[in-house]
Structure 1
Amino acid sequence: MGWNSWDSYGPTVREEEVKANADFMAKNLAKYGWQYVIVDIEWYQPNAKAHGYIPRGAVTMDENGRFVPSPNRFPSASDGAGFKTLANYVHSKGLKFGFHIMRGIPREAVDKNLPIKGSSVRAADVADKVNVCQWPGMEDTYGVDMSKPGAQAYYDSIAELYASWGADYIKADDFSTPARVSEILALHEALKKTGRLIVLSLSPGPFTQLYADFLQMNAQMWRISGDFWDQWDALKRQFEIAHSWETYVGRSSWPDADMLPLGHIGIRAERGDDRPSTFTHDEQHTLMTLWSMFRSPLMFGGDLPTSDAFTISLITNPEVLQVNQHSSGGHQSYRQGDIVAWTADAPGARRRYIAVFNVSNTARDINLAWRDVGVQAQRVAVRDLWARKDMGVQPNVKVSLAPHACVLYRVVPQ
C-alpha cells in the first residue's frame, strides 16, 4: 500500500511534491497501513515534460553510466547524494521509499562507452541495441545483452547503488510484452546480492499466466494489464483480467491490477489533463472493492494533499483495507451477464467476504441465494463494510444496485 507519482505528475515530479505526499501519508494514512512513497519515471531527466517523453532528452548519470536524480528537480541529490537524502526523509516519517527504473542501460552511457563498475568491460560491450523500449518517444535506454561478459555486473552495479540510497522498492518498467526473462533474472539476482530487502515490482503488463511460476520466483509484484486510467470500460475489463489471475494471488507474490487513479490526478501527467478522477463515487467503490477482493497491491495515484475528503475516506476504511490485506482465497464465485460476485475467506472461524457488483449500465435488483456465492447456509449474519454497519441475519443476498455500483459484506453463517 503506497503512493506513486505517475498518475499525478508523470515524468515531472519534484522533490518538494514527493515530500508533501510523504508528509500527508505519515500524518493521515500510515495508521491504516499505507507505507510506500514511490517516485515514478525519468527522475534523471532535468527537462522532463508532461504529455509525452523527450526522445534522447538530457539525462543525469554518474561516471559508471548509472542514472542519478537530476539536482534541479531533486536538490538533495546534489554532490553525488543520489536519492539517499530523500530516502532518509521518507524513512524518518516511518515510511518506505522507492522509485521507477527503465529496463537496460542508458543510451548516453553507451555513446560515451563508460566503464561498468565492478568489471573490466564498458557500456557498449553489453548494450543490446535491438531489444529496446517501443514506447513512442522513450529512448532513454538500450537493453542489456545478458549473453555478454559484464552484463550481470551492470545490473549488480545499479542494485548496489539503489541499496546504498536506502531503496525499499523498485518499479522496473519495460520488462513485459515480450517478457524480458534474462533481464528480470539479472535484476532479481542483483537485488538479492545487496542484502537489502527491496520489493521488485515489474511493469508495464500484461504478463500472461505462462510466466506465472517464473514471476512468483523472481518478483514480488507484476502487472497484469496495461496502464489503467479513470475510464469505466477499463475498469470493467479488469474483472475478467483479475478472474484469470485469481489462483496466483498470495503465493509470496502478487498479481498487480495497477494503480488507483483516484483523487486529484493529471497535474502534469504523461497523459490527460489536471482533473479530479472521472470515476463516479459508485465506480470508485467498485474499484476499491475489486482490488481488495483480488488482493491487488494498492498504489494510490492522486496527489494526496489536494485530493478530496471522499477520496481519502475510500482509502482509510479499515474494514475494506482488512479485506485487501488479510483475506484469502478470493475468487469470482458468480457471474450471470453483468452481475458479478466475488467471495473470499475472512480471518476468524467461518467468516467470509462477499462482494456483489453491477457492471451494467442500468440499475439492477439482485436476489441471490447464499449458496450462489459459495456460502453453504440459509441464514447469514451480514455486516456492510462500506457503510460500516451490521444488517442483521439475512436469508439471501437481496440488494438494489445502481449502474457500476457494488456492495461488500462480511458474513457469518448462522
Structure 2
Amino acid sequence: MGRRPSSAPQMGWNSWDSFGTTVTEGEVLANARFLAERLAPAGWDTVVVDIQWYEPTARAGGYNDDAPLLLDADGVQVPAPGRFPSSAGGAGFGPLAGQVHDLGLRFGIHVMRGIPRRAVDADLPVPGTPYRTGDIADRASTCPWNSDNYGLDHAHPGAQAWLDLQIDRFVGWGVDFLKVDDMLAPYHADAIEALALAVARAEERHGREVTISLSPGTHLSLAHLDHLRRHADLWRISDDLWDRWDDVEAQLTRTARWAPHQGEEGWADADMLPLGRIGVRAERGAPRDSLLTVDERRTMLSLWCLARSPLFVGGDLPTSDGGTIADLANTDVLDVGRHSAGSRELLREGDLVVWGAEGAGPCAGVRWAGLFNTGTETLHARVPAASAGLPAPSPHDVSSLRCGTSRGPRESGSVTDLWTGEEVRLVPGSSETGGDAVIDVEIPPHGARLLRVQPK
C-alpha cells in the first residue's frame, strides 16, 4: 500500500501556536476567512484544529491529568460544545468542516495515537465485533507528555475495527487532513500502518482524499523513509519549534539531511511557522508577536521553501502584523517550495550556509540560491555563482516570466533578491574563482538572501 502522490508540500494554518488546547469555533472561522481572502491566492488552503478539541476543561499552558474527554457511545472523541457550539446534537465537526469547505479550503484535526483511557475504562463494545475496548488497549504504551490515551494492541483483531470506526467517523464529518501525534518518537510502525489502512478504507467509503501528517519528529531517522512514504503524506523531523533563533538554526542541519529525499512520495516537515501573533492562549509563552526578527522570519521562510517543507503558519492571522502577512503571501518565495527540484545544501563555512535548487514545472530553467548568515554580525559574503548553483548572468533580452510574476519581468539571466525585488549585480571573477562571476552581498545577522536567476 502506498499514499497518493502530491506534487507540492502542503500549506495551511494550525491553531497550536496561538491557542494551544483552547481554540474556539469562532477563532477557527476567523482564521479560515482570513486565509481564504488573503493567503489562499498564494496557495494556502488548509485549516487545522489542533489538540484536545474534545477536552471541555482544556487550559493554556499544559494538560489536565485524567481530563474529562468527551466521547460518543463507541468511545470516539467528539468536539466540546462549549468551544464548538455547532457540534451540539451529535453533529461533530460536520457543520464547521462545511463552513471551511464553503470558503474553498480543506479542514483538518489533530488526534493522539491510540484510544482514550476513558473509553478503555468504560469497557465499551466495539461495534461489529465480539470485543470490548478493554480488550484492545495496550496499557503499557502511553504518551510521555499527554495522558489522554492508551495505545492500541494492534495484534488484537478488535484494534483495527475500533480504529476504522474512529477514522471513518472523522472523515464522515468532512475531515480532509489528519495530524496524528505520538507516532514517531519512538517510531510506532504498527500504529502507522493501522492508521494508513483505516484512512484508506474511510477514503473509499466517503469518496474523500485525506492527508496523513505524523508528529513529533524527535530524533527521526532516515532509516524510516521508505516506510513513511508508504503510509503517510508528511512527517515531522523535529520536536516542537518555537519563536527562538536556536530552534530555527537547528533546522538548517535537519533539513539538509532530508531535502534530497523530498518529493511527491511524501514530505519531511520542519514544523509550524511561529509567525505573527502567537501565544494568545498557547502551551508556551505569553501573548506576543513572534520574537523572531524580520531577518530571522525571512531566514525561516527561505529555508522551509528551499527544503520543500510543508508550511503551516501558527499565528492568529487576523491580529498578525502586515509585514508577516506580506511575507507569507510572497509568491516569488513560495514558488521555491512548490516548483523546485534538487534542493540541497551546497556550502557551509563558518557563519555562511549556501543552498541551491532548480526550477521544475512552471519554473523550469529557473535557479535559486539561499545564502544564510548564522552569525550575530553582518556578513560580507563573496560566493562564486557556480558554488551557489547559479549560472553566470547574461544581461540580454527582457522576457515575461513564467515563474515569479509578482514583481514583473526581469532581464533574462539576471539575479533577483526575492525578498526585496532588487537586482543583485555579480562582480567579475578572478584567478581565485577560476574566472567565475561572484555573488557579492551583505547578509544581516541571522538573515538570508534568497536569489533567483531567470532562464535565458
Bin for the TM-score computed over the shorter chain: over 0.9
Alignment of 1:74 with 2:107, yes or no, is no
Partner of 2:375 in structure 1?
360
8 Å Cα contact 1:40/1:100 also seen in 2: yes
- Range 373-382 or range 162-171, more displaced: 373-382
8 Å Cα contact 1:289/1:408 also seen in 2: yes
Cα deviation, 1:38-95, whole Å, max 9, x if unaligned, reads 0000000001000000011111100001001011110011010000000000000111
Alignment of 1:18 with 2:28, yes or no, is yes
Separation of aligned partners in 2, 1:123 and 1:145: 11
Alignment of 1:399 with 2:444, yes or no, is no
Structure 1 residue identity aligned to 2:227: F
Partner of 1:330 in structure 2?
343
Alignment of 1:346 with 2:359, yes or no, is yes
Separation of aligned partners in 2, 1:117 and 1:353: 54
Partner of 1:200 in structure 2?
212
Partner of 1:291 in structure 2?
304
Unaligned runs of 5+ in 2: 1-10, 395-412, 428-436
Partner of 1:216 in structure 2?
229
Cα deviation, 1:316-340, whole Å, max 9, x if unaligned, reads 0110111111111110011112200
Partner of 2:6 in structure 1?
none
Q: Which of residues 412, 415, 418 is equivalent to 1:382? A: 415
Structure 1 residue identity aligned to 2:167: A
Partner of 2:432 in structure 1?
none
Q: Which of residues 257, 261, 281 is equivalent to 1:248? A: 261
Cα deviation, 1:175-209, whole Å, max 9, x if unaligned, reads 01110110110011100011221000000112211
Matches within 5 A, 1:219-238: 219-238=232-251
Separation of aligned partners in 1, 2:119 and 2:364: 58
8 Å Cα contact 1:375/1:413 also seen in 2: no
8 Å Cα contact 1:384/1:390 also seen in 2: yes
Matches within 5 A, 1:62-101: 62-101=72-111
What displacement does 1:292 show? Answer: 0.5
What displacement does 1:376 show? Answer: 5.0
Q: Secondary structure at the match of 1:90?
A: helix
Aligned residue pair count: 412
Separation of aligned partners in 2, 1:378 and 1:386: 19
Separation of aligned partners in 1, 2:128 and 2:268: 34
Cα deviation, 1:148-181, whole Å, max 9, x if unaligned, reads 1211111101111011101100000000111011
Matches within 5 A, 1:126-137: 126-135=136-145
Separation of aligned partners in 2, 1:393 and 1:234: 32
What displacement does 1:388 show? Answer: 2.3
- Range 395-404 or range 288-297, more displaced: 395-404
8 Å Cα contact 1:293/1:344 also seen in 2: yes
Structure 2 residue identity aligned to 1:34: W
* Shift in CA distance, 389/119, structure 1 to aligned 2, threshold 3 Å: farther
Separation of aligned partners in 2, 1:310 and 1:11: 27
Separation of aligned partners in 1, 2:422 and 2:302: 17
8 Å Cα contact 1:320/1:385 also seen in 2: yes
Partner of 2:174 in structure 1?
166
Q: Say what the alpha-carbon RMSD is for the aligned residues.
A: 1.3
What displacement does 1:391 show? Answer: 3.8
Separation of aligned partners in 2, 1:117 and 1:231: 47
What displacement does 1:120 show? Answer: 2.2
Q: Which of residues 269, 272, 281 is equivalent to 1:259? A: 272
Unaligned runs of 5+ in 1: none
Separation of aligned partners in 1, 2:393 and 2:67: 64
What displacement does 1:375 show? Answer: 3.2
Q: Secondary structure at the match of 1:200?
A: strand
Aligned-pair identity in percent equals 45
Q: Could you state the TM-score of these two structures normalised by the residue count of structure 2?
A: 0.88
Separation of aligned partners in 2, 1:119 and 1:178: 30
Q: Which of residues 153, 156, 161 is equivalent to 2:161? A: 153
Separation of aligned partners in 2, 1:374 and 1:25: 34
Q: Could you state the TM-score of these two structures normalised by the residue count of structure 1?
A: 0.97
Structure 2 residue identity aligned to 1:2: G
Q: Which of residues 185, 189, 199 is equivalent to 1:181? A: 189
Separation of aligned partners in 1, 2:161 and 2:124: 13
Q: Secondary structure at the match of 2:157?
A: coil
What displacement does 1:396 show? Answer: 1.7
Q: Secondary structure at the match of 1:30?
A: helix
What displacement does 1:392 show? Answer: 5.7
Partner of 1:269 in structure 2?
282
8 Å Cα contact 1:118/1:157 also seen in 2: no
Separation of aligned partners in 2, 1:109 and 1:371: 60
* Shift in CA distance, 64/323, structure 1 to aligned 2, threshold 3 Å: same
8 Å Cα contact 2:358/2:364 also seen in 1: no
Separation of aligned partners in 2, 1:14 and 1:397: 49
Matches within 5 A, 1:31-70: 31-70=41-80
Separation of aligned partners in 1, 2:391 and 2:451: 16
Q: Secondary structure at the match of 2:414?
A: strand
Structure 2 residue identity aligned to 1:399: V
Structure 1 residue identity aligned to 2:377: T
Q: Which of residues 19, 30, 42 is equivalent to 1:9? A: 19
Alignment of 1:190 with 2:198, yes or no, is yes
Structure 1 residue identity aligned to 2:214: L
